[in-house]
Structure 1
Amino acid sequence: MTLFGLDETRVSELIAGVRGGMPVDALATAGEVFARAAWSGIAEPGDGTAGLLVASLGASVALTAILEAWSPVRIGALVRDVLADEPGAPDVVFATSPSSDHTEADADTSAELEQALDAGLQRWRPRLNSGDVIRSLQQAARVDARLLLATDTLWPAAIDDLEQHAPLALWWRGVPGALAALPNSIALVGARAATGYGEHIAMEASAGLVDRGFAVVSGAAYGIDGMAHRAALASDGMTLAFLAGGVDRFYPSGHDSLLTRIVAAGAVISELPCGAAPTKWRFLQRNRLIAAASAATIVLEAGWRSGSLNTAGHASALGRPLGAVPGPITSPTSAGCHRLIREFAAVCVTNPTEMAELVGERSIQVPLDFCDTDAGPGPIPRTSDQVRVFDALSGRTPRTVADLSRRAGLSTSAVRGALGGLDLDGAAQEREAGWVRRA
């Protein structure tokens, strides 16, 4: 068996450093583990097409398919065969027009699947680099990071509720007991620019929940997240941080010591391989993991358009209980919490006891993008492709469309389309050597 031109012995050596002596069962052969590690860097977080492909064919076969340049028609046929033969396999989530003719409907579904696979291949192929995979595995071994698969005992089963958008693997550093505590955890999220009021509430909430036996989950950002983690550690409790980049490069850098303490007593988790840089798009996708892994989500302090509301949207869409802490009506940093309570029926919670009572309750569905709607006058929101391309641009060094495609994880045609919008917006500018980000 070879993958990326590496023989089985070399593959086994590379994965040994990130499995920590964990047994490899029949469902997780050396090649499958290596392929999962590779896919974590090839596909962007939340890539549903990659999730469907890997779930249907297995990571190793799916990787072989793009390495050997299989056509979308061939891959689509294999995926459809698997889905037809296995009742428990994930559904192909592609909308089709109602039709009484099943043959025509099947043809429409096949065409949409092949179109999605074709777009996916254009996103993934620029990132096919064995050197990147080898470096990420070697770096993970150096920092004592581990690769967690869905077949492992410690895998947080609640994340599987994300279905084909679930992570293909998880990289983590810390103590195994922290991962085991996730089913009994509550996410505490909020504004980076937190007020003294917000930080006080975060400290009281985190300490109170830890005293009641809950683990505290957050994103390690400045403000509310950082205070929630610190209070949990100060109370000798369990806390876990989900990152938007590799677990070898702590972000924000100002929380390096905090994240080091979390590794010693809890866990730091990411779906991205070591060496991966955090981007705005990855922060938004990271939020879905915080919401999915926790039994409930509490927004402690958030502005009208805070990213914490994105986490709340994911929690609600997954059927997780959602709570919000009210603040002074004159404080813009609590406007998002008030909006959750008023418009989306989040449960108003004011102390750790009320937060603990949320577990087991149901919350209503909140649109995932509601934090970007009804926000009053302002710039037109960027599309997800524009966000990813803007993150990939440099303010100094011109970058070609091909380079941006690799960095953003998008096809070249999608990059060109996004650049057109950014150019009209005044956010990007084309130069002779490539595109740059405008100040």
Structure 2
Amino acid sequence: MTRLLGDPQPPDTAPAVTGREEERLARVLLNRVSEPGDAMVGRWLAGLPAAALVRAIRDGTVPDHPGLDATRLAGYQARLPGLDPAGDLKRVQDAGGRFIIPGDTEWPSQLDDLGDGRPIGLWAAGTGSLRLLALRSVSVVGSRACTAYGAHVAGELSAQLAERGWVVVSGAAYGIDAAAHRGALAVGGMTIAVLACGVDVAYPKGNATLIRRIGVQGLLVSELPPGEHPNRFRFVLRNRVIAALTRGTVVVEAAVRSGALSTARRARDLNRHTMGVAGPVTSAFSAGVHALIRSGAATLVTDADEITELIGAIGEDLAPQRTGPVLPRDLLEPAVARVLEAVPATAEGAPIERLARQAGLPPDEVLQKLYELGSLGFVERHGAHWRAVRRR
């Protein structure tokens, strides 16, 4: 049986480990002992080194807490025997991965916003620094059973964001998640997949090729140790990491009971920008997004410019002003436009005196403006009257 951290070490039988290495090994072990987001373990770690907590769990001397009972402590203790944290580290390191813990230069400090629910550590496989990549990242999430419209929008938004230098984060699931990753990869962008299983497990199997590609071109991240498989609760807990890691969350398509809405709610609770893409009002797959927008919990966005305006640098990532086509009459000076508004489109037209009263200008000035408008083809003269020309 592998020696547990905190057990007496026989003299001259094993190399000494540094305090940092001991902390890492202890957190790997705690990663096996507890489930993601375990607030009890999180509270203990706020006041105890991980190695000391492992010893306390083994000896049954952990600090008292109202949520701790004999059954829960026994559950932790039951998982301790046979664990091999050093083997877990080697297994992932041999595959080009690593285990990141608080205090490492690669640790994203925004995860600390999760408080007691902060990850014990994160397993990562792929290229780039997680901390640096997360500084300019946005999550794009949505339903697994998405429509063609949703997949198209998710892919387009993600490609546009990647082309603007943003890192696209999602969960590597079917539907919107997969479309978001593919959109970023298609333009040579960076994408991060936050998994609900070990980084060495390709789930879902139908996305195995995509996940392997993300591991090469992007980054795979998970709270769960190597070899672990997902379950329903791990998907929900995974969503809090996606929300905390990024600058904002975009929900492309989500039904009323979609799990993607939990990511949006966590993002809102963490004071991250929460955004939604509208879909057809007849589509049940967009009903959850519409409810978010209607309640004020999400901001309506339609393209990458509007997303980056919310999550980007103040005054620098502004979306372009949206205007309709410029019409010739929009270019007229105010006084000329007033005269044009006064000219009727009827066959008989109107004399100068009437037009001057309606425009509130002297008759001589009105006459001058009428000739300008006539040169531009807006009006025409019939005797002493002027009338508007019907423009096609």
Q: Same fold (TM over 0.5)?
A: yes
Q: Which residue of 2 aligns with 1:48?
A: 39
Distance 1:58 1:178 in 2: 24
Q: How big is the alpha-carbon RMSD for the aligned residues of Structure 1 and Structure 2?
A: 2.4
After superposition, give the CA deviation of every residue in 1:214-265 in whole Å (9 maximum; x if it has no partner).
1000000001100110110111111000001111111111111111111111
Tell me if 1:122 matches 2:124: no
1:400-439 → structure 2 map (5 Å cutoff):
none
CA contact (8 A) 1:210 1:216 kept: yes
Q: Please say which of residues 308-317 and 121-130 is displaced more in the overlay.
A: 121-130
Q: Which residue of 1 aligns with 2:5?
A: 3
Per the TM alignment, residue 41 of structure 1 is displaced from its structure 2 partner at its CA by: 1.2
Tell me if 1:317 matches 2:319: no
Q: 2:227 aligns with which of 275, 285, 295?
A: 275
1:74-89 → structure 2 map (5 Å cutoff):
75-76=63-64
Q: 1:170 aligns with which of 102, 114, 122?
A: 122
CA contact (8 A) 1:11 1:34 kept: no
CA contact (8 A) 2:253 2:285 kept: yes
Distance 1:10 1:230 in 2: 50
Per the TM alignment, residue 339 of structure 1 is displaced from its structure 2 partner at its CA by: 0.7
Q: Which residue of 1 aligns with 2:50?
A: 59
Question: What SS class does the counterpart of residue 227 from structure 2 fall into?
Answer: coil
Q: Which residue of 2 aligns with 1:246?
A: 198
CA contact (8 A) 2:251 2:276 kept: yes
Q: 1:68 aligns with which of 41, 53, 59?
A: 59
Amino acid at match of 2:32: G
Q: Which residue of 1 aligns with 2:286?
A: 334
Distance 1:229 1:11 in 2: 44
Per the TM alignment, residue 5 of structure 1 is displaced from its structure 2 partner at its CA by: 4.6
Distance 1:225 1:341 in 2: 20
Question: What SS class does the counterpart of residue 83 from structure 2 fall into?
Answer: helix
Shift of the 328–222 alpha-carbon distance from structure 1 to 2, 3 Å rule, reads same
Question: What SS class does the counterpart of residue 116 from structure 1 fall into?
Answer: coil
Q: 2:149 aligns with which of 197, 203, 206?
A: 197
Question: 1 or 2 for the larger relative contact order (CA 8 Å, sep ≥6)?
Answer: 1
1:250-265 → structure 2 map (5 Å cutoff):
250-265=202-217
Distance 1:5 1:134 in 2: 15
* TM-score between the two structures when normalised by the length of structure 2: 0.74
Distance 1:12 1:55 in 2: 28
CA contact (8 A) 1:323 1:349 kept: yes
CA contact (8 A) 2:106 2:130 kept: no
Distance 1:260 1:10 in 2: 39
Q: 2:183 aligns with which of 198, 210, 231?
A: 231
1:91-102 → structure 2 map (5 Å cutoff):
none
Per the TM alignment, residue 69 of structure 1 is displaced from its structure 2 partner at its CA by: 2.3
Q: Which residue of 1 aligns with 2:373?
A: none
Per the TM alignment, residue 177 of structure 1 is displaced from its structure 2 partner at its CA by: 3.7
Amino acid at match of 1:44: E
Question: What SS class does the counterpart of residue 221 from structure 1 fall into?
Answer: coil
Question: What SS class does the counterpart of residue 182 from structure 1 fall into?
Answer: helix
Distance 2:285 2:67 in 1: 43
Q: Which residue of 2 aligns with 1:182?
A: 134
* TM-score between the two structures when normalised by the length of structure 1: 0.67
Per the TM alignment, residue 176 of structure 1 is displaced from its structure 2 partner at its CA by: 2.3
Per the TM alignment, residue 266 of structure 1 is displaced from its structure 2 partner at its CA by: 1.2
Uncovered stretches (5+) of structure 1, i.e. residues with no partner: 16-23, 77-112, 362-439
After superposition, give the CA deviation of every residue in 1:16-64 in whole Å (9 maximum; x if it has no partner).
xxxxxxxx7xxx5222111000011111111101001122111000000
Per the TM alignment, residue 182 of structure 1 is displaced from its structure 2 partner at its CA by: 0.5
CA contact (8 A) 1:156 1:182 kept: yes
Per the TM alignment, residue 137 of structure 1 is displaced from its structure 2 partner at its CA by: 3.1
Per the TM alignment, residue 283 of structure 1 is displaced from its structure 2 partner at its CA by: 0.4
Per the TM alignment, residue 147 of structure 1 is displaced from its structure 2 partner at its CA by: 0.5
Shift of the 202–65 alpha-carbon distance from structure 1 to 2, 3 Å rule, reads same
After superposition, give the CA deviation of every residue in 1:186-225 in whole Å (9 maximum; x if it has no partner).
0000010111100110111001111111100000000110
Amino acid at match of 2:123: W
Query: Which of 1 and 2 has greater Rg?
Result: 2
CA contact (8 A) 2:26 2:85 kept: no
Per the TM alignment, residue 130 of structure 1 is displaced from its structure 2 partner at its CA by: 3.1
Uncovered stretches (5+) of structure 2, i.e. residues with no partner: 314-392
Distance 2:106 2:67 in 1: 36
Shift of the 272–340 alpha-carbon distance from structure 1 to 2, 3 Å rule, reads same
- Percent identity over the alignment is 41
Tell me if 1:156 matches 2:108: yes
Per the TM alignment, residue 163 of structure 1 is displaced from its structure 2 partner at its CA by: 1.0
Q: Please say which of residues 128-137 and 60-69 is displaced more in the overlay.
A: 128-137
CA contact (8 A) 1:177 1:266 kept: no
Distance 1:2 1:128 in 2: 8
Shift of the 327–183 alpha-carbon distance from structure 1 to 2, 3 Å rule, reads same
Q: 1:142 aligns with which of 81, 94, 99?
A: 94
Q: 1:219 aligns with which of 145, 166, 171?
A: 171
Amino acid at match of 1:193: A
CA contact (8 A) 2:4 2:83 kept: no
Question: What SS class does the counterpart of residue 181 from structure 1 fall into?
Answer: helix
CA contact (8 A) 2:89 2:99 kept: no
Question: What SS class does the counterpart of residue 171 from structure 1 fall into?
Answer: strand
